[in-house]
Chain A
Amino acid sequence: MEGKVRVEGNPFGDLVFRTEREHLPAALRALRDDHGFDMLLDTTVVDRLELPDREPRFDLVYNMRPSLGGLRVRVQARIPAEDPVAESASGIWRAAEWGEREVFDQYGVRFRGHPNCKRILNHKDFVGHPLRRDYDIKKQQWLSEPDDLLDEMEKKRAADPEPGERESMLINLGPSHPAMHGALRVLLDLDGETIRHAVPEIGYLHRGFEKSAEKGNYTQVIPYTDRLNYCSSVMNNVGYCRTVEKMLGVEITPRGAAIRVILLELGRIMDHCVQLAANLVDLGALTNYWYLFNEREKIYNVIEALCGARLTHCYFRIGGSSHDLHEGFAEGVREVLRSVPRALADVEKMVARNRIFLDRTVGVGAISAADAISHGFTGPCLRAAGVQNDLRKDEPYYGYETYDWDVVVGEKGDTYDRIWVRFEEVRQSLRIVEQALTRLPGGPANIDDPRVVLPPKREVYENIEALMNHFMLTMYGIRPPAGECYGAIEAANGELGFFTVSDGTGRPYKVKVRPPCFYVFSAFERLVEGGMIQDAIAVLGSLNIIAGELDR
Chain B
Amino acid sequence: MEKVAAGGALTTRVDALLAWGRKNSLWPLPYGTACCAIEFMAVVASPFDLSRYGAEVVRFSPRQSDLLIVSGTIVHKQAVILRRIYHQMAEPKWVIAMGACASAGAFYDNYCTLQGIDSVVPVDLYIPGCPPRPEAVMHALVELQRRITEGIPSKAQVIRMEEEKKGEGA
Report A's interface with B, CB cutoff 8 A: 122-123, 130, 135-146, 175-178, 181-183, 203-208, 211-212, 223-224, 227, 230-231, 274, 289-290, 293-294, 296-297, 300, 310-312, 547-548
Given A122-B112, A176-B85, A230-B35, CB of A143 within 8 Å of CB of B46: no
B39: interface (CB < 8 Å): yes
Task: Check if A137 sits within 8 Å of B76, measured CB to CB.
Answer: no
Are the CB atoms of A312 and B78 closer together than 8 Å?
A: no
Flag if A289 contacts B45 (CB, 8 Å): yes
| B131, A212: Cβ atoms closer than 8 Å | no
CB distance from B8 to the nearest CB of A (A): 43
Return chain A residues, CB-CB under 8 Å to B34: 182-183, 205, 207, 227, 230, 547-548
Question: Which of A146, A206, A290 is the one whose CB lies under 8 Å from B45?
Answer: A290
Q: How far is the CA of A137 from the CA of B108 in the complex (A)?
A: 10
Distance in Å: Cβ of A113 to nearest Cβ of chain B: 28
| Structural contact, B32 and A207, CB atoms closer than 8 A | no
Write the nearest CB–CB distance from A420 to chain B, whole angstroms: 23
CB of A205 within 8 A of CB of B111, answer no
Residue pair B45, A230 in contact (C-beta under 8 Å): no
Alpha-carbon gap, A139 to B113, bound state (A): 10
Taking a contact as CB atoms under 8 Å apart, the answer to whether B112 and A207 are in contact is yes
Cβ-defined partner of A176 (8 Å) among B31, B107, B109? B31
Q: A178 to B41: give the CA distance in the assembly, Å.
A: 12
Known: A274-B38, A293-B42, A312-B131. A139 touches B111 (CB 8 A): yes
Residues in chain A near residue B37, CB distance under 8 A: 182
A224 contacts across to B, CB distance below 8 A: 107
Residues of B within 8 A of A230 (CB): 34-35, 38
B47 in the interface (beta carbon within 8 A): yes
Q: Are A182 and B31 closer than 8 Å at their CB atoms?
A: yes
Is A293 in contact with B35, judged by CB distance below 8 angstroms? Answer: no
A230 and B72 CA atoms in complex are apart in Å by 11
Q: Hey, which chain B residues are within 8 Å of A296, CB to CB? A: 42
* Alpha-carbon separation in the docked complex, A310 to B41 (Å): 13
- Whether A297 pairs with B45 at a CB distance below 8 angstroms is yes
The closest CB in chain B to the CB of A123 belongs to B77
Given A123-B77, A205-B78, 10 extra CB contacts under 8 A: A143-B77, A178-B60, A181-B32, A183-B72, A203-B77, A204-B75, A207-B34, A211-B111, A296-B42, A312-B130
Say yes or no: A206 contacts B77, CB within 8 Å.
yes
Is A143 in contact with B76, judged by CB distance below 8 angstroms? Answer: yes
If A135-B111, A311-B35 touch, does A205 touch B131 (CB 8 Å cutoff)? Answer: no
CA distance A312 to B130 in the complex (A): 8
Q: Tell which of B35, B77, B81 touches A312, judged by Cβ atoms closer than 8 Å.
A: B35
Separation in Å of the B50 CB from the closest CB of chain A? Answer: 13
Cα–Cα, bound, A230→B35 (Å): 5
Given contacts A145-B80, A176-B31, contact A290 B110 (CB under 8 A): no
Task: Confirm or deny: B79 has a beta carbon within 8 angstroms of a beta carbon on chain A.
Answer: yes
Is B38 a contact partner of A212 (Cβ separation < 8 A)? Answer: no
Between-chain CB contacts (< 8 Å), 20 pairs: A138-B111, A140-B76, A140-B112, A141-B76, A143-B79, A144-B80, A146-B81, A175-B81, A176-B31, A176-B82, A182-B37, A183-B78, A203-B77, A207-B113, A208-B112, A290-B46, A300-B42, A311-B38, A311-B131, A312-B131
